[in-house]
Amino acid sequence: MRRLLVPSTLIAVAGLSLLAFTPVQTADETPLWGFTQAGSRAQRELEARLDAQLQPDSLRVWLKYLSRHPNQLGSPGDSANAEWIAAHYRAWGFQTRIDTYQVLFPTPRERLLELVAPTRRRMNLAEPVLKEDATSAIVKGRLPPYNAYSADGDVEAEVVYVNYGVPQDYEELARRGIDVRGKIVLARYGGSWRGIKPKVAAEKGAIGCLIYSDPRDDGYYNGDVYPKGAWRREDGFQRGSVEDMPQYPGDPLTPGVGATRDAKRMDRKDSPVIMKIPVLPISYQDAEPILAAMSGPMAPPSWRGALPLPYHLGPGPAKVHLKLAFNWDLVPAHDVVAMLPGSRYPDQWVLRGNHMDGWVFGAGDPLSGQVALLEEARAVGILARSGWRPQRTIVYTSWDGEEPGLLGSTEFAEDHAAELERKAVAYINSDSNGRGFLGVGGSHQLERFVTQIAGDVKDPETGATALARLRARLEVAGNDGAARGDLEISPLGSGSDYTPFLQHLGIPSLNIGYGGEGGGGSYHSVFDSFDYYRRFGDPTFEYGVALAKTGGRATLRLADADVLPFRYSSLANRIHTYLGQVEKLAGDMRTSTQRLDHLVDIKAYALADDPTETWVVPQKKDSVPYLNFAPLENSVARLRKAATAYDAALAGKMAAGGPSEQEARNLNGLLQGLEERLLSPDGLPRRPWFRHMIYAPGFWTGYGVKTLPGVREGVEQREWDNVSKYVTEISDALDRLSSGLEQATGMLDS
Amino acid sequence: MRRLLVPSTLIAVAGLSLLAFTPVQTADETPLWGFTQAGSRAQRELEARLDAQLQPDSLRVWLKYLSRHPNQLGSPGDSANAEWIAAHYRAWGFQTRIDTYQVLFPTPRERLLELVAPTRRRMNLAEPVLKEDATSAIVKGRLPPYNAYSADGDVEAEVVYVNYGVPQDYEELARRGIDVRGKIVLARYGGSWRGIKPKVAAEKGAIGCLIYSDPRDDGYYNGDVYPKGAWRREDGFQRGSVEDMPQYPGDPLTPGVGATRDAKRMDRKDSPVIMKIPVLPISYQDAEPILAAMSGPMAPPSWRGALPLPYHLGPGPAKVHLKLAFNWDLVPAHDVVAMLPGSRYPDQWVLRGNHMDGWVFGAGDPLSGQVALLEEARAVGILARSGWRPQRTIVYTSWDGEEPGLLGSTEFAEDHAAELERKAVAYINSDSNGRGFLGVGGSHQLERFVTQIAGDVKDPETGATALARLRARLEVAGNDGAARGDLEISPLGSGSDYTPFLQHLGIPSLNIGYGGEGGGGSYHSVFDSFDYYRRFGDPTFEYGVALAKTGGRATLRLADADVLPFRYSSLANRIHTYLGQVEKLAGDMRTSTQRLDHLVDIKAYALADDPTETWVVPQKKDSVPYLNFAPLENSVARLRKAATAYDAALAGKMAAGGPSEQEARNLNGLLQGLEERLLSPDGLPRRPWFRHMIYAPGFWTGYGVKTLPGVREGVEQREWDNVSKYVTEISDALDRLSSGLEQATGMLDS
């Protein structure tokens, strides 16, 4: 049963208000990158009109409405939300459709966890109902806490505490003579993306994995717990996917192609991205008796959390029984796609997206971002009905199935790969949003672009610009250098829907959002609710409006720029920095390997260790060879030169009134495909789906980015042949980009 | 009632065993510093004979005996132990006396702590009886947990949590708009010597102070709690003095003079070293309900402990009532002094001491060190009865009243100041001892001396030398430089009985002990017991034997050296390093002040802070002037030259067979008074008792050392006039030392 909570006035187009609109003179008259002086002025006037449409009330009402029922992938609430969103896009004047894919999405059939030794205790595995949180009482249609794409399994074994469960944690365990073969590991959330924990545990021989939220990282250590404060309760759980997304995201059965009804599917048992062992998230209330029953060496100090007990590593004597079984169903994923055709470049697409599926009610993640996206689209629709049309086609997208593994966006990107490669000029993503500071990640040729947007959007709390607040924080943190010049936007790893566009298709991408001043204890729990969000997320919804202003500017500027607003010297300089990091990494590893070997040789460990405890002297490692980074150095040097020349040529051309119609058309056509030149057709080692040579999520770290991943992970994993291979691959990619830039500069100079 | 547990054979001198003794050829033939090649060989043979006498059983039996009853200052057990120790020194052939002083020592008459809001709860304030710990059942004669030299008081107020309660913690509170005036502060142990906490709190206007042991620093966070493991229980308390010892230690009523029966005493209310507010140590079990009832801003992350709650700063709403009253009695302090006259230089004294008073049973602190000292003295007595006599007089001392404030040692040093200044060549201290690594602090001209001793003593666990283990640990920690060359011994602040000798009288001093592999949860509690110590301190008592070997070598080498074994280039180089640190400190403060002013000017704090929380923008500070360190630079340069020349001249002379009898006599006479030249008669600002210009405990940090204290604290406190004054004072002191060294070099060259 659906209640229609949204007032009809918000669906109707408020066209009349435009008649009374007086253009606002903005203070900043610095020309926008990619625009002429006159174009900049017109664009800023358009944005002032956009801003005038944005109402926090829309966001509040929609958020409450969309989060009133469970809305995970495949649920009735999710389908209903998709239809509701599509109806709104249509009402606002967008050409709207729903693309539906059939994706594998396991849901729990049985979950059992019990401590069986030294005492017996069955764990609760359920979240409570709170009177302060209205939707917490809704049980119908809601999924209990679990990790999607865990294996089915029924295992019983002693427990080993493995900290965050990343590879270096197992080195510490080995130093203490502890092996997880045949054991069940207990890992805490944090320190890596969650899917890394069972993946590494399985590689090390563990037969099961529990992941709990330690109050040190996500609970009372950080502040009062919900509902008194924002932080995670003792009986709070973090759901989440453990699909091996660093291999490939999306439907596990159809890598590389859209999961249409008739797509060819692999057998589930052959899918490499489904976990090999059972894995379950638990609360710190359920973890505490297990940890309290552990013995063995003390965990290293940095491993110890905030539970009131000594953290022992085990193995055992705590022993647990874990039994998990799932329904392995294909379910529909509904992507809502809303287009506003461009007047001048209808075949150049600016995509703007945010997912709409949550884990339960999803008020913060993703609906806080979704409603800002919708409000932005509503305002753009009003602009369009007032007579303005974008130069390029604008595509608003509300993705389904992001939570289990970027399913909706990935299947869409794979299904429409050829068209997107030909047409997409950029993809702008958002996700959860809240009170605080602007955060931006993305393709580095967009740093000037982002800086100019941040300089034009007011921070709701201070009245300063979002840029001024960010710079103030950088100054206070002692990062003076970064506080001047253009903002350094973060390179993107993974964790939201930009991944298929950027890393599979090579489309310039941005991820934007506000945050950092709210609490963090509702993530992927039943308490990610409207009641929580209006207290701790963005009580006035003004940061939702700020996101709509930010995303709106990004979308409109990309759509209307005379020349696509890419400034490549930022990209070239950042790549130069990354190369320096990788070279230093290799040097540091060489030194630390020599040092390790020396310490083993002189028996320093044996003498320094406490002889009454078990300490295993580390093994010596093969020395790190000197590596040939010269091809990359040469290509980076060429790129820096080509990028600087292009940026200067473009600035000169724009100052002189801009390119001619034909020049602009030729130039934009060339620029549209430039990021794609950074792809390599073979992709990365172990994961050909990831084709971008500059950005990838870490294969052993998860969401966290690895820049120059082929080379960086080659060094980290001591795979020297891969280093050589990817020095060449990246050099070639950079050379292709340089050629394009040299060609573009030629167009501008001619 | 006393039971005589010690077998009479241990009191009898085991003279016969010497007859069977065969000299051991030691591996290391490097000459000892201050000895000729022949003298070195003889000395090492003597030490091998010393080692042969040392028996872990003595230590075990004596430790159990001396810790069988409470033995705090003024107690019957303390007097009995003093008599027992004196009887043993006498039996071993020492000229033994007990010097008794009358010192002010408050003991609790009333202790009340209750939470009065938001709920009422009276705190327990008592330690439990444990069946695993025999002496914990002994209540008679034992003092409950308290802080000696707290003020009497009866106060009730809201609580503010102040972290470690050091000055910079109050800056963080001010940043959050929190003032402690009229409040009771709750501080945790650690981060400074405990006496700093109530001292700073009172300066800031607080009316009471509670100090608790947080399990993060001293409890389950570190390991299993007693009796399962070594760490502090939830109902464990840390007693301790809060006398303002950084002003002056010893009897509060008789600074600078011995507290003899007829000494002139100031009125108690005039004593500046008694705390101005009531202060009480509590357990984490008693602190938890107070912290759980706090509200206000969250404490900064580094302030948060391991209790399972969010650490709020307050003020309140938790409110407590604290009532304390003490018996302010004069009690006797019995110093046991045992002398073995020197054959060649009877008026050159080598002092070796360890205190004997504990807070309750004192098994670890101080008796573990005391019994090692006694075993060392017993063995030296055997050597003496076999015909050997030291060249210089050896003085073994067992101090009383160290715990309340170095009372016994300070009164002895003040009482015998003139004689000590004339006769003492060095003071070697020890205190608690345990399993682990050798730790040494002291006068830096003893670095070669200490390195050679550490190289000659075997570590009981590994069979390597103590030096090799230390170096292995430094290597593993990445401190390769320090792992080569001479050991860098730590500069001494305060915290044990070396302070009056080094910092008041200018006698070269060492503090030695083993430790670092036991737990730490019994310190100053009823559980510092024999049962605890034999499980977690030094189960085999072999580290007690190692301490006796180490202290014995130090004592015998100082007593027998042809030329006093000081190597001054180590001292000169360390002072050079300290000067560099102080100069860097001033430069860093200048930069950070400029930076702070800049951030305030550009309103960066206002923009970066969360506007929904209370943040007070820091105030600008006066800029740091450029300071004239040139006189100090010149004096350090002269000292380095003079020291290098002296060391070279001495090495040459010793290699050539050593000085003549008269040369040696003249040289040793000069060297005896050299460290005293580093005193300044006016002492340090606010504390004329502390006269050493190179080493002092921090006035605002407590035990922790401040090197070049007049200048360093002048910079830290922005007292530029003091900086200038102490640049001159230290330069003059260094010049006096350089003159002495130049004179000594002249003697060697002539």
Query: Hey, what amino acid is at B66?
Result: L
Cβ distance A472 to B298 less than 8 Å, yes or no, reads no
CB B462 within 8 A of CB B370: no
How many Å apart are CA B346 and CA B339, to the nearest integer? Answer: 10
Same domain, A76 and A92: yes
Query: Is residue A3 one of the residues assigned to a domain?
Result: no
DSSP labels, B144-155: PS-EETPPPEEE
Mean pLDDT, chain B, rounded, equals 94
How many Å apart are CA A699 and CA A582, to the nearest integer? Answer: 16
Tally of structural domains, chain B:
3
Does residue B212 carry a pLDDT above 50? Answer: yes
Residue B6: the pLDDT is 34
Q: How far is CA B395 from the centre of its chain?
A: 20
Listed residue (A497, A733, A530) closest to A632, CA to CA = A733
pLDDT per residue over B132-160, tens digit each? 999 999 999 999 999 999 999 999 999 99
Residues 6+ apart with CB under 8 A from A196: A165, A166, A246, A700, A701, A702
Buried b (16+ CB within 10 A) or exposed e, A379-395: bbbbbbebebebbbbbb
Query: Hey, what amino acid is at B471?
Result: R
pLDDT per residue over B32-43, tens digit each? 999 999 999 999
Does residue B3 carry a pLDDT above 90? Answer: no
Residue A7: the pLDDT is 35
**Listed residues A302, A329, A356: the one ending a domain:** A329
Residues in A closer than 8 angstroms to B612, CB to CB, are 435, 461, 517
Percent of chain A with pLDDT over 90: 93
Query: Is residue A622 one of the residues assigned to a domain?
Result: yes
**Listed residues A329, A353, A381: the one ending a domain:** A329
pLDDT per residue over B153-185, tens digit each? 999 999 999 999 999 999 999 999 999 999 999
Cβ distance B308 to A517 less than 8 Å, yes or no, reads no
Average the pLDDT over B514-525 and give the result. 90
B316–chain A nearest CA distance, Å:
16
**Rounded-to-5 percentages of helix, strand, coil across chain A:** 45, 20, 40
Query: Is residue B99 one of the residues assigned to a domain?
Result: yes
Name residue, tokens 């058309």.
A665
Does residue A585 carry a pLDDT above 50? Answer: yes
CB B598 within 8 A of CB B570: no
Residue B28: the pLDDT is 61
Same domain, A132 and A95: no
Residues in chain B whose Cβ is within 8 Å of chain A: 215, 220-225, 229, 231, 298, 304, 306-310, 435-436, 461-462, 464, 468-469, 472-473, 475-476, 478, 517, 595, 599, 602-608, 610-612
Residues in chain A whose Cβ is within 8 Å of chain B: 215, 220-225, 229, 231, 298, 304, 306-310, 435-436, 461-462, 464, 468-469, 472-473, 475-476, 478, 517, 595, 599, 602-608, 610-612
Same domain, A431 and A301: no
Does residue A358 carry a pLDDT above 50? Answer: yes
Confidence at B749, pLDDT banded by 50, 70, 90: confident
Phi/psi of residue A651, nearest 5 degrees: -60, -45
Same domain, A372 and A493: yes
pLDDT per residue over A264-281, tens digit each? 999 999 999 999 999 999
Name residue, tokens 């070049």.
B708
Q: Report the CATH number that the domain containing residue A592 is assigned in CATH.
A: 1.20.930
Residue A27: the pLDDT is 52
Average the pLDDT over B447-457 and give the result. 97
Buried b (16+ CB within 10 A) or exposed e, A145-173: bbbbbbbebebebbbbbbbbbbeebbebb
Residue A30: the pLDDT is 86
CB-closest option in A308, A435, A602 to B475: A602
Cβ distance B469 to A310 less than 8 Å, yes or no, reads no
Residue A480: the pLDDT is 75
CB-closest option in A298, A308, A603 to B215: A308
CB-closest option in A215, A222, A298 to B308: A215
Does residue A188 carry a pLDDT above 70? Answer: yes
How many Å apart are CA A155 and CA A157, to the nearest integer? Answer: 7
From the number of C-beta atoms within 10 Å of its C-beta (0-12, 13-18, 19+), residue B589 rates as middle
How many Å apart are CA B679 and CA B675, to the nearest integer? Answer: 8
DSSP strand E in B67-214: where? 95-117, 121-122, 147-148, 153-161, 184-188, 208-212
CB-closest option in A298, A468, A608 to B607: A468
CB B542 within 8 A of CB B59: no
CB-closest option in A306, A309, A604 to B472: A604
Query: Is residue B467 one of the residues assigned to a domain?
Result: no
Same domain, B366 and B445: yes
**What tokens were used for B179?**
């003032």
Under DSSP, the state recorded for B303 is: G
Residues in B closer than 8 angstroms to A468, CB to CB, are 607
Helix count and strand count (H, E) for chain A = 24, 16
pLDDT per residue over A381-430, tens digit each? 999 999 999 999 999 999 999 999 999 999 999 999 999 999 999 999 99
Query: Is residue B687 one of the residues assigned to a domain?
Result: yes
How many Å apart are CA A218 and CA A239, to the nearest integer? Answer: 13
**What tokens were used for A388?**
């303005």
Identify the domain containing residue B718 by its residue range.
Answer: 568-749
Same domain, A80 and A111: no
The kind and range of the H/E element at B38 are helix B37-53
**What tokens were used for A533?**
């969000």
Query: What is the value of pTM for the model shown?
Result: 0.93
pLDDT per residue over B327-363, tens digit each? 999 999 999 999 999 999 999 999 999 999 999 999 9
Q: Is the peptide bond before A145 cis (omega within 30 degrees of 0)?
A: no
Does residue A10 carry a pLDDT above 80? Answer: no
Average the pLDDT over A2-14 and give the result. 35
Same domain, A288 and A342: no
pLDDT per residue over A293-304, tens digit each? 999 999 999 999
Average the pLDDT over A682-700 and give the result. 96
Size of interface A-B (CB pairs under 8 A): 98
Query: Is residue B474 one of the residues assigned to a domain?
Result: no
Under DSSP, the state recorded for B714 is: H
Confidence at B26, pLDDT banded by 50, 70, 90: very low
Does residue A584 carry a pLDDT above 50? Answer: yes
Residue B27: the pLDDT is 52
Cβ distance A605 to B304 less than 8 Å, yes or no, reads no
Average the pLDDT over B69-76 and give the result. 98
pLDDT per residue over B418-445, tens digit each? 999 999 999 999 999 999 999 999 999 9
Phi/psi of residue A385, nearest 5 degrees: -75, -15
CB B337 within 8 A of CB B94: no
Same domain, A132 and A192: yes
Buried b (16+ CB within 10 A) or exposed e, A188-199: bbbbbbbbbbbb
Same domain, B16 and B52: yes
Same domain, B19 and B34: yes
Residue B480: the pLDDT is 75
**What tokens were used for A706?**
């690895």
Average the pLDDT over A643-671 and give the result. 96
Residue A311: the pLDDT is 98
| CA angle, residues A321, A323, A324, in degrees to nearest 5 | 150
How many Å apart are CA B635 and CA B573, to the nearest integer? Answer: 12
Cβ distance B475 to A599 less than 8 Å, yes or no, reads yes
Cα end-to-end span (Å), chain A:
64
Query: Is residue B477 one of the residues assigned to a domain?
Result: no
Cβ distance A476 to B608 less than 8 Å, yes or no, reads yes
**What tokens were used for B704?**
């922790």
Query: Is residue B291 one of the residues assigned to a domain?
Result: yes
A620–chain B nearest CA distance, Å:
14
**Listed residues A329, A359, A377: the one ending a domain:** A329
Same domain, A18 and A136: no
Cα end-to-end span (Å), chain B:
65
DSSP strand E in B213-344: where? 240-241, 279-282, 319-340
ipTM greater than 0.90, yes or no? yes
CA A624 vs CA A171, A586, A603, A708, B133: distances in Å: 19, 7, 22, 19, 55
Does residue B19 carry a pLDDT above 80? Answer: no
Q: Which of A221, A283, A295, A437 is the best residue to mutate to test the B interface, defined by the most B CB atoms within 10 Å of its own CB?
A: A221
Which of A549-553, B153-157, B287-291, B697-701 comes out lowest in average pLDDT? Answer: B697-701
Same domain, B257 and B395: no
Q: Report the CATH number that the domain containing residue A89 is assigned in CATH.
A: 3.40.630.10
How many Å apart are CA B614 and CA B296, to the nearest integer? Answer: 10
Average the pLDDT over A242-259 and give the result. 97
How many Å apart are CA A707 and CA A709, to the nearest integer? Answer: 5
